[in-house]
Amino acid sequence: MLYNLLYPLSEYISIFNVFKYITFRTAYAILTSLALSLYLGPVVIEKLRSLQLSQKTKGYEPETHKAKEGTPTMGGIFIILSAAISTILWADLKNPYVWIILFAFAGTGMIGFYDDYIKTVKKNPEGISPKLKFTLQLVIAIIVAFSVIYADRGANSTKLTFPFFKNLIVDLSYFYAVLAVFIIVGASNAVNLTDGLDGLATMPSVIAFGTFIIFAYVAGNVKFANYLQIIYVPGAGELAIFCGSLVGAGLGFLWFNAYPASVFMGDVGSLSLGAALGTVAVIVKQEIVLAIVGGLFVIETVSVILQVGFFKATKGKRLFRMAPIHHHFELKGWQEPKIIVRFWIVSLVLALIALSTLKLR
């Protein structure tokens, strides 16, 4: 908004020229959303506490989780508010990608909100039925996928590139929509599965959005995109501001979600963070790189798939003590902060590997 309001005045007031720069606006988007989430955090947490919006445990979690009962959930509300306000303030509101990403983010946030509402207010620990949740996610993802394809009239949006192979580009045409939907829904659920220890989904999300600031910036800049031999996506640079807003909002949330957490993000947070991550990857044409940047979320999801598959194949034997894999380490006796920090380190390493794909091609 500030870009739309103030940059046109730069002819008369030269200082406003600074609003032209995505780097400047991204930096201030990070700071704005960080300040907002640090301010909104205590207000929202107090409200959640007074409404007693905490989740009942299901009864089969590791012993250490019993003490967490009563911790307010749905803190994702202030992640969404802080990041959305900051994005609207600093991004170019004439850019269609800004609205597509905000739709994906807020739309999946509303699904999560509904699920949390059933779990907390209606006191049903199972939440909404998996079928309904999946259907609603599909609806949002399908709208997002076709909007992305429509936004560049299919010029490059249906092409799939492969990290490390610069000349390998496959045009999937409208089948690309199927892939995009899979990525958005998959990322949304993968972050949700990871969100089972204090800060475990938060910091890796911050690292992933931080990495995508760079991917969005270079994809939206014709010189950098040509130099790095990645697909140039006009307008994608504005997503750096959205990603920056999530870095700030995520760090602000982590302030309260750090071990021992005073709030959990709830599905309102985890589903929206994951879907936003998937949507950014789809828009900036780094779909496969997402699996590296968000490798920790992939590992968590694969651990569940393997656990369930192994259980069925062996008629009752378990591969891990419990899935997702963070529970396996808990049951092995690792202290919660140790698991969390080690998983953060894994995320950071994966983000660096993902960034190296820009040069190794």
Q: Please say which residue, 185 or 225, places its beta carbon nearer to ligand 57M.
A: 185
- Using the rule CB under 6 A, which residue among 47, 49, 65, 159 binds ligand 57M? 65
Cβ of residue 100: shortest distance to ligand 57M, in angstroms? Answer: 24
Nearer to ligand 57M, 263 or 284 (CB): 263
CA distances (Å), 210 to each of 26, 109, 352, in order?
11, 20, 11
The contact mask relative to ligand 57M for 181-200 (x = CB under 6 A, - = no) is -----------xx-xxxx--
**171 φ/ψ angles, rounded to the nearest 5 degrees:** -90, 115
Distance between CA atoms of residues 164 and 307, nearest Å: 31
Q: Which is nearer to ligand 57M, 68 or 159 (CB)?
A: 68
Q: Can residue 248 be called a binding residue for ligand 57M (CB under 6 A)? A: no
Distance (Å, rounded) from C-alpha 205 to C-alpha 185?
Answer: 16
The phi and psi torsions of 312 (rounded to 5 degrees) equal -70, -45
Shortest distance, position 130 Cβ to ligand 57M, whole Å: 9
Q: How far apart are CA 361 and CA 203, in angstroms?
A: 29
Q: Is residue 55 close enough to count as binding ligand 57M by CB under 6 A?
A: yes
Q: Three-state DSSP class for 73?
A: coil
Q: Report the residue from 257, 272, 279, 357 that binds ligand 57M according to the rule CB under 6 A.
A: 257
> 163, 266, 294, 295: which one contacts ligand 57M (CB under 6 A)?
266
- Smallest gap from Cβ 85 to ligand 57M, in A, equals 22
CB-CB neighbours of 51 under 10 Å: 12
Cβ-based burial of 303 (10 A; exposed 0-12, middle 13-18, buried ≥19): buried
CA atoms of 285 and 205, how far apart (whole Å): 19
Q: Which residues bind ligand 57M (CB under 6 A)?
A: 55, 57-58, 60-61, 65, 68, 73, 192-193, 195-198, 257, 261, 264-267, 270, 304, 307-308, 318, 322-324, 327
